[in-house]
Amino acid sequence: MEQPSVIARRDGRVGLIQLNEPKSMNALSGGIKAGLDQHIPAMLRDAEVRCLVITGEGKAFCAGGDIRSMGQGQRAPLAVRERVARGHDWTRMLLEHEKPVVAMVNGAVAGAGLSLMLMADIVIASDAATFRAGFPALGAVPDLGLAYTLPRAVGFLRAKEMLLTNRQVLPPEAAAMGLVNRVVPAQELQAEAMKLAAQLADGPWSLGLTKTLMKRAYDDTLESFLEGEAMAQAMAFASEDFAEGVEAFMGKRKAAFKGR
């Protein structure tokens, strides 16, 4: 029986999406794109899923675009624009949705795979991972939001260096520069990433508001941001989770948040 290009499953309140074409290093083939089109919105809509984890099977997280699909007949500007725009659907979903997203980076990351990784809120990487922009080697520009997300992660100058020179970044430097949150031994990656995801999944409804505020922080004026902050806090204080948090604090017990 042929294996699906993308595997999606639930582990308690954590949703897991795994790219599953290891022979091609999980390059974004038509099958993987279709799987992401299907499973990302489904997981984000699922009320039982409170945190989403994205990872790859085999030695790569995602090697970027599928070079096999970039033949001469696939290069018409309107066709390219349409293909890239379809990927923007799940770019927006992951960056803007209230649910926390964790990238569990098991191996090599390049090109649009780096874009996908940086759609996550927290990145946990194996010490076997490698990171490369990829696009300069093909004469292409960064896509799926990479020129937007990478400077926000590592700073403008470091981002320009990665995007213009295509140099490889190894795990210790990736952690030091803020490209990933944490590097762990390969054999501990799944346990560490899923432990973190479970912690986020058990968190309060206000985590989604925090994501929204942090996104606004880059674009808003101070006054607009502070107004949004006040509104968000008013919403948080009115939630069941805040009532539970206060009660748990006063009772010196761990809060049991319900995400509402």
**One digit per residue, pLDDT tens: the chain, 260 residues?**
678 999 999 999 999 999 999 999 999 998 999 999 999 999 999 999 999 999 999 999 999 876 676 555 566 677 667 777 777 888 999 999 999 999 999 999 999 999 999 999 999 999 999 999 988 887 888 888 999 999 999 999 999 999 999 999 999 999 999 999 999 999 999 999 999 999 999 999 999 999 989 888 888 898 998 998 899 989 998 998 888 888 888 898 898 888 88
The DSSP result for 145-212, as a single string, is THHHHHHHHH-HHHHHHHHHH---B-HHHHHHHTSSSEEE-GGGHHHHHHHHHHHHHTS-THHHHHHH
Which CA distances in Å does 157 have to 134, 150, 164? 17, 10, 10
Amino acid at 165: T
